[in-house]
Amino acid sequence: MKKNKALKNTIIPIWNEISRKINAVMDMAEDEPEFVSPHPNMIKLQQLTKKLSSLPDLIESKDGDTTKYKVEKGEGLCRGLLKKKDIVAVLDAFMKAGEIYPHHVHKETEWLVVYAGHIIVRYEDHVGIEDHARRGEAIRILAGRDHWCEAIDDSWVIGITIPEGEGYPDVGSKH
């Protein structure tokens, strides 16, 4: 019983912090303009990225709410937390230091919120440019942008796609 109470006292503050981050991200999404005419270079980039892997291409296996992705140097395990068709998808991922999710694109805007550790996201369209995120920080990746993610330290990350991300884990056990 004491163990459960200690675990509960640890998890609840973390979950509350994650909930605040998700709400902040959702607020940011509401502030975005509905449509912005794309630059001609972005149109060309989108045509080229159609040839890249999408997240569903990286799925190795699924078991209930856990999805295993094909990654470099790691496990690639993510658990679905929330999935609302055509609205939002949220996953929880642990990334071992050195683990790399390879080049891929999403049709949706994605946010990665780090609640422990340190990750780097790199972009194909800006070689040498990278975004770092540590505990309490988030990275926003626009729809259609080729990227890959590496864990510098053992890291826990909440991934959010708006609308629902194709290839994000399902929610709830199907056993």
Read off the pLDDT of residues 61-80 as tens digits, 9 standing for 90 and up. 888 888 888 888 888 889 99
**Residue bearing tokens 């994605």:** 110
Q: What is the pLDDT of residue 174?
A: 46
Q: What does the DSSP assignment read for the chain? A: -HHHHHHHHHHHHHHHHHHHHHHHHHHHHHHS-S--PPPHHHHHHHHHHTTSPBGGGGEEEEETTEEEE--BSS--EEEEEEEETTTEEEEEEEE-TT-EEEEEB-SSEEEEEEEESEEEEEETTSTT-EEEEETT-EEEE-TT--EEEEESSSEEEEEEEESPPTTPPPSS---
Domain spans in the chain, listed from the N-terminal domain onward = 54-162
Write down the pTM of the prediction.
Answer: 0.68
pLDDT tens, position by position, 86-111: 899 999 999 999 999 888 888 899 99
CATH topology of domain 54-162: Jelly Rolls (2.60.120)
What's the confidence (pLDDT) of residue 92? 94
**66-97 in b/e burial notation, b at 16+ Cβ within 10 A?**
bbbbebeebebbbbbbbbeeeebbbbbbbbbe
What's the pLDDT tens digit per position in 110-136? 999 999 999 999 988 766 789 999 999
In terms of residues, how long is the chain?
Answer: 175
